[in-house]
A and B are shown apart, each in its own frame.
Chain A
Amino acid sequence: MGDKPIWEQIGSSFVQHYYQLFDTDRTQLGAIYIDASCLTWEGQQFQGKAAIVEKLSSLPFTKIAHSITAQDHQPTPDSCILSMVVGQLKADEDPIMGFHQSFILKNINDAWVCTNDMFRLALHNFG
């Protein structure tokens, strides 16, 4: 991994950490957000760590497993990292669904936090 650009190392580490935590215990995801973070979940908006974690915690399934199909990372002009993830998820006994998620990561006080998070199921892409 040492020969990959730094933004790709940071982005893919974040992605791995995020989904691992999401699949294990999503109530612990608060540590990666700050009070200025924004989440848009299936078009619904939430701002701030507390509102975001409450939304994620109250999602109506008990267990979930994400698998990543593709991920892209870019550095932004303001020294952030933009990450786009395409994958599939399985919640409880529901059929497997595709999803799309995008993040902006920002370095604040030597820690990378997620300032922007957008999630959509890919259902409406079945053409």
Chain B
Amino acid sequence: MADKPVWEQIGAGFVQLYYQQFDTDRTKLGDLYTDASCLTWEGAGYQGKEAIMGKLSSLPFQSIQHIITAQDHQPTPDNCVMSMVMGQLKADQDQVMGFQQVFLLKNIDNKWICANDMFRLALHNFGA
């Protein structure tokens, strides 16, 4: 991994940590957010660590597993890292669904945190 650009290392490291933690115990994801972080989950907006954790913790499934199909990472002009993830997830006994998620990561006090987070199921992409 050492020969990959640094933003790709940071982005891929975050993505791995995020989904691992989400699938193991999503109530522990709070460390990745700050009080200024924004989450848009299926079109509904949440701001701040507490509101975001309230939403993620109350999602109506017990077990979940994410699989990443593709991930892209870019450096932004303000020294952040933008990451876009496409994948599939399986919640409880539901059928496998596609999802898309975008993160903006920012370095604050020598730590990479998630400033922006947007999630959508890919259901409505099953087209003609």
Residues of A in contact with B (beta carbons under 8 Å apart) = 36, 38, 40, 43, 45, 69-70, 72, 74-78, 80, 82, 84, 86, 88, 95-98, 100, 102, 104, 106, 115-116, 118, 120, 122, 124-127
Contacts and interface: CB of A to CB of B under 8 A. Distances in A.
B40 A106 contact: no
B100 A86 contact: yes
Interface of B: 36, 38, 40, 43, 45, 69-70, 72, 74-78, 80, 82, 84, 86, 88, 95-100, 102, 104, 106, 115-116, 118, 120, 122, 124-128
Tell me whether chain A's interface is mostly helix, strand or loop, or mixed: strand
Please list the 3 inter-chain residue pairs (A to B) with the smallest Cβ-Cβ separation, ordered nearest first.
Answer: A125-B98, A98-B125, A78-B78
Given A69-B125, A74-B40, A75-B38, A36 B100 contact: no
A74 B117 CA distance: 9
22 contacts: A38-B74, A38-B75, A70-B120, A70-B124, A74-B40, A76-B116, A80-B76, A80-B78, A82-B118, A86-B122, A86-B124, A96-B128, A98-B127, A100-B86, A104-B104, A115-B76, A118-B82, A122-B98, A124-B86, A125-B86, A125-B88, A127-B95
A82 B78 CA distance: 13
